[in-house]
Structure formats: structure tokens, C-alpha cells
């Protein structure tokens, strides 16, 4: 019987052991034993054997987490990594070689930007940025050596949205790998593979964990591609710890419920901010004023848990706002049950030049709120009292 994704997120579980546990077991072990020397030898000679050898290669708890993400994203296979950045970097290292070119949205996470501009050139890999808000400009940037197109939608922190089906079509016609960082939406809100993505990346650290406890990453997609990625991860070592995989897999049981509530709270806060005299602009995918609202409602189930807004007073106002908050946490993570406020231009994106920041919509007064699961009255009240002190 084919269960719904909501059910699979809860019921998919490692085969029950002889102990008859109800909650999923945690295989906290570095390696696995063999029944005989012959079995041990064959584990190393026959790659096709479905056998656990060493937890850098595979581990049942990590496999459970990956299988769940594959099911939710509609992917054939997947690989887990120790962090989201390990997932991004391993994907680049597996599929890009010297002389290749990658087309990336300019509005990408700060560390991804650093890999593209600081590290990939060291290995002779070129990158070009495209403007997510001008998808019609993408095709002209494709070169004969373009191997990969990379983007986030919604983007961090500007919440730009791009039409995944449109980009998927360009990539298919040009034979380019289409890679989407789906961290902000999660598969409970958007499944990029349905729109033509070949690989989907997550920082599981965010909404997948959902409670700000562990780091993790995962890449899912086509089986042949994932096999290549698996070999890189297995040999170079950015593997996910079984303990973190156990935490993440348990968290996925509540992913759908949480994302619905994050989105409900976020929409409420976004609407409240629209009427605030200290705020010049509010951005939330499911607000009709969002420039790509029509695309958002087409490809997303809800607007997700992140709201961005612009304070009239610029950089100084951004820092004053954070200092005035009483309940909301001042920290750089996102996707937590606790509401978090951050100020990208003085923190996560401070290494970018002012021009680069402005090009991706990170203005000095931009504040990003990762809306949590607290009572919405308390969230709105804290934001409004902080704004009220201006």
C-alpha cells in the first residue's frame, strides 16, 4: 500500500530489531562486524553487495533519514552529509571539473557564494551569476562548457522566487544539471524534482531538524548521479553522524505539521508588519505584494517560515531593532521552533561587498525573521514593541 508523504515521514523506519523497539533504533557505531573472513573479504571486492562496512560509507540510521528525504522529495536516491555546506561542496566537487562552468543565481547563501568565487576558481571552474528576478536573461548566459545550474528558491535571505519549471526546461534543453537548494521551503512545501530538478540539496540543520540542535545535510535526486556523489562522500569523508541522522529522522515525523504552523505564523506576522510605520517593505512569498507571488502560489504549498522586511532607518535601525527584542532570539540559525531575528548585512553576508549585497537585495536595513512556533500574539507583540521604541 502506498502511503501519503505525511504518513511516510512518520512511519518509514529501520527494520525492527529483535528487541521489538517502537521508536526507531540508533546505530551509533563506527563499523560493522562480519560472520566470517570470507564475508569480510567479499564486502571489499563486490561493490554491489548491500552490506554495511563502516559508517563513513553507510549506516542504517543515516539510511533511514536519507530514505525519508527521498520519499518526501520524490527522489530515486540520496546521500547525507555532515552539514548543508558539505552537501553543496560535495555536489560541486563531484560534477564539476577543470574547465567547466557553473551558472548560479546571484542570490545564494553567503558560504555558497564564497565557494563559487574563492575556491572553485582555484581548480579552474568558472561561475557566472544570473538575476533570479530576470529568468529571461538565463539562456544567453549558457556556454558550451556550462555543466550545472544552481539556485535557491526562496533565496536566503531576500526571499526571491524563480519559476522552477521554466529553469528546468532550459536545463533539459541544454543538457545542464539542474541543482536546487530547497532548504527554505523543505519538501513539505515544495518538491523541485517535480519541476525538473536533477538534484535537490538541503541544509538539514534548518527546518528539517526544526529545533536548532544538530547540523546535517542531504542531497537527493537521480540514482546515477547520486552514485557518483556517494563515492565522493564515501572516500573524502563529509558523512553524516548516525546520532545526528537519528535526531533528524525523528524530526521529520513532525515536518508537515511544523511547516504548516511556521507558514501560518509567518503570514500573520508579514501582514502585521505591512501596516507598521517603521517598515518600508515586507517580503513574504504568499503576500500578494511579493514580486513573484504568482509563481510562489503555483509551486509552493504555503509561503514557508521566513519573513524579510526593510527598516526605514537602514543599518543602524537594523541593529537597534535587534537590541530591542525581548523574546525573539538574536542568532544566525533559522528554521527553529523559536523565532529568530537576524540582520544579514552585518552578519551572514558581511563578507560580500556593498555592491554585491545590494545586487541581491540585501539592503542595510533588511531584517530576516525565521518565524517560530510560539503563540503568534507573542511574536507580533515582541516585534511591534521593538519597532515601537524607534
* Residues across the chain: 390
- Of 142-150, 176-184, 253-261, 277-285, which part binds ligand PLP (CB under 6 A)? 176-184
Q: Which of 67, 127, 133, 156 binds ligand PLP (CB under 6 A)?
A: 156
Task: Identify which of residues 57 and 89 has a Cβ nearer to ligand PLP in the complex.
Answer: 89
Determine the Cα–Cα distance for residues 80 and 230; give it in Å rounded to an integer.
9
Query: Judged by CB under 6 A, does residue 382 bind ligand PLP?
Result: no
Cα three-residue angle 208-214-217, rounded to 5 degrees: 55
Q: Which of 181, 209, 310, 382 binds ligand PLP (CB under 6 A)?
A: 181
Task: Identify which of residues 5 and 216 has a Cβ nearer to ligand PLP in the complex.
Answer: 216
Alpha carbon separation from 122 to 102, 129, 283 (Å, rounded): 14, 18, 36
List all residues 6 or more positions away from 334 whose beta carbon is below 8 Å from its beta carbon.
Answer: 156, 206, 207, 305, 306, 340, 342, 368, 370
Smallest separation, CB 208 to ligand PLP (Å): 10
Residue number, nearest CB to ligand PLP? 84
Smallest separation, CB 211 to ligand PLP (Å): 14
Among positions 76-105, residues that touch ligand PLP (CB under 6 A) are 83-85
Q: Which of 205, 265, 342, 345 binds ligand PLP (CB under 6 A)?
A: 205
Among positions 133-152, residues that touch ligand PLP (CB under 6 A) are 152
Quote the cell numbers at residue 45: 571486492
Determine the Cα–Cα distance for residues 71 and 12; give it in Å rounded to an integer.
9
Task: Identify which of residues 135 and 217 has a Cβ nearer to ligand PLP in the complex.
Answer: 217
Query: Judged by CB under 6 A, does residue 109 bind ligand PLP?
Result: yes
| Among the listed residues 379, 274, 275, 272, the one whose alpha carbon sits nearest the alpha carbon of residue 329 | 379
Task: Identify which of residues 272 and 328 has a Cβ nearer to ligand PLP in the complex.
Answer: 328
Q: Which of 9, 183, 306, 340 binds ligand PLP (CB under 6 A)?
A: 183
Task: Identify which of residues 71 and 182 has a Cβ nearer to ligand PLP in the complex.
Answer: 182
- What's the chain's Rg over C-alpha atoms? 21
Alpha carbon separation from 331 to 236, 259, 266, 381 (Å, rounded): 31, 20, 18, 19
Task: Identify which of residues 156 and 299 has a Cβ nearer to ligand PLP in the complex.
Answer: 156
Smallest separation, CB 80 to ligand PLP (Å): 12
List all residues 6 or more positions away from 92 whose beta carbon is below 8 Å from its beta carbon.
Answer: 102, 115, 120, 125, 148
Smallest separation, CB 84 to ligand PLP (Å): 2
Determine the Cα–Cα distance for residues 19 and 263; give it in Å rounded to an integer.
39
List all residues 6 or more positions away from 225 whose beta carbon is below 8 Å from its beta carbon.
Answer: 95, 177, 198, 199
Query: Judged by CB under 6 A, does residue 69 bind ligand PLP?
Result: no
Determine the Cα–Cα distance for residues 87 and 110; give it in Å rounded to an integer.
15
Among positions 208-237, residues that touch ligand PLP (CB under 6 A) are 215, 217
Binding site residues, ligand PLP, CB under 6 A: 83-85, 109, 152, 156, 181, 183-184, 203, 205, 215, 217
Amino acid at each position: 500500500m502506498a502511503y501519503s508523504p505525511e504518513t511516510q515521514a512518520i512511519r518509514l523506519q529501520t527494520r525492527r530489531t529483535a528487541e521489538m523497539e517502537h521508536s526507531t533504533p540508533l546505530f551509533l557505531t563506527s563499523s560493522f562486524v562480519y560472520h566470517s573472513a570470507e564475508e569480510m573479504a567479499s564486502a571489499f571486492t563486490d561493490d554491489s553487495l548491500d552490506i554495511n562496512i563502516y559508517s563513513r560509507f553507510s549506516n542504517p540510521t543515516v539510511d533511514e533519514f536519507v530514505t525519508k528525504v527521498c520519499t518526501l522529495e520524490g527522489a530515486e536516491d540520496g546521500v547525507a552529509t555532515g552539514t548543508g555546506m558539505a552537501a553543496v561542496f560535495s555536489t560541486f566537487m563531484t560534477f564539476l571539473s577543470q574547465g567547466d562552468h557553473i551558472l548560479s543565481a546571484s542570490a545564494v547563501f553567503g558560504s555558497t557564494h564564497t565557494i563559487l568565487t574563492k575556491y572553485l576558481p582555484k581548480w579552474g571552474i568558472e561561475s557566472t551569476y544570473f538575476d533570479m528576478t530576470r529568468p529571461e536573461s538565463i539562456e544567453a548566459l549558457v556556454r558550451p562548457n556550462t555543466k550545472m545550474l544552481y539556485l535557491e528558491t526562496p533565496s536566503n535571505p531576500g526571499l526571491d522566487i524563480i519559476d522552477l519549471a521554466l529553469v528546468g526546461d532550459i536545463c533539459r534543453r541544454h543538457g545542464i544539471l539542474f541543482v536546487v537548494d530547497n532548504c527554505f521551503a523543505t519538501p513539505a512545501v515544495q518538491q523541485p524534482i517535480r519541476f525538473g530538478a536533477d538534484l535537490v540539496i538541503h541544509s538539514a540543520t534548518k527546518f528539517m531538524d526544526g529545533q536548532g540542535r544538530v547540523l546535517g545535510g542531504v542531497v537527493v535526486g537521480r540514482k546515477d548521479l547520486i552514485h557518483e556523489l556517494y563515492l565522493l562522500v564515501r572516500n573524502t569523508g563529509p558523512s553524516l553522524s548516525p546520532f545526528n541522522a537519528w535526531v533528524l529522522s525523528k524530526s521529520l515525523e513532525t515536518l508537515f505539521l511544523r511547516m504548516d504552523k511556521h507558514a501560518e505564523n509567518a503570514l500573520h506576522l508579514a501582514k502585521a508588519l505591512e501596516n507598521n510605520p517603521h517598515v518600508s517593505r515586507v517580503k513574504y512569498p504568499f503576500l500578494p505584494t511579493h514580486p513573484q507571488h504568482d509563481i510562489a502560489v503555483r509551486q509552493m504549498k504555503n509561503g514557508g517560515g521566513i519573513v524579510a522586511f526593510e527598516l526605514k532607518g537602514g543599518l543602524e535601525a537594523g541593529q537597534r531593532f535587534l537590541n530591542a527584542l525581548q523574546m525573539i532570539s538574536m542568532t544566525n540559525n533559522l528554521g527553529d521552533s523559536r523565532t529568530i531575528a537576524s540582520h544579514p548585512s552585518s552578519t551572514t553576508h558581511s563578507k560580500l561587498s556593498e555592491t554585491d549585497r545590494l545586487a541581491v537585495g540585501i539592503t542595510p536595513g533588511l531584517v530576516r525573521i525565521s518565524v517560530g512556533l510560539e503563540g503568534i500574539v507573542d511574536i507580533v507583540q515582541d516585534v511591534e514593541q521593538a519597532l515601537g521604541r524607534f
